[in-house]
Structure 1
């Protein structure tokens, strides 16, 4: 099964993706983890990505796409994957589609964790992270709404909308039920 999980920051994507991937026996592929692994290992792509990150810039799509494509080649991804944090934009989704077509694969379902902005703000402020100020959170949510929400139309036929409010186990059960697992 090839799945994507999308939703705003603070919706619980990482937590839910880890639980679901373990349940399905597929890897949870987080772009954050891919970046850290490539930078830490000093791969060619990692060194390139680090130059952008050190300058405070976003890593270009080509570099991110290349890292994701390389991750799909690892043996544990042969039976499928749960991709978290990518794609975030329609151009990235187009590139992902190209990668998968070359492999004779496609995305099966896209899980959308829906959580109202007010609850996301409360959740992120409660984490107590230095970069989680009300202003910074509002900017990140605005970016989500303008850049990531268009993915919902792109993946309309594959979208599984999940209420992301509630206990972790409740949300996980909603996801599994919606996927028929």
Structure 2
């Protein structure tokens, strides 16, 4: 199976989701500032990385985990679904692809932190807001990843889109 966590920038909630999915983060407690800032790709991507599918690793079940920053483009995920179906049909593939939207977990502090840090390059305001936001949404991201894995295992279609609207 291939998991692709996606959101606007692909560098905050998606990076946390991928790290949790790959068992790189502890559960049962709030993350420390250091743990948050040490997450692979957390607050490190730029506009040039938008639209790039980034590999994070392979989970305990040999599933590949990726992230994607899609900006506001609502057509990216449906296009990826269609491309996945085309490739699976053309090459008789049976690898399930799960596209999971992490945007519903993003709190206001993380949105503003991303704006200040990534867009305006004002890290002394943005980074503390990102850390605060990551602490606020971590339990929601854990639930989202668990839900994503569950849907991935139970879905009957080869390409699955999960909007995760229930995480708002």
TMscore range, shorter length: 0.3 to 0.5
TM-score of the superposition, structure 1-length normalised? Answer: 0.40
Report the TM-score, using the length of structure 2 for normalisation: 0.42
Q: Which one has the bigger helix percentage?
A: 1
Higher Rg: 1
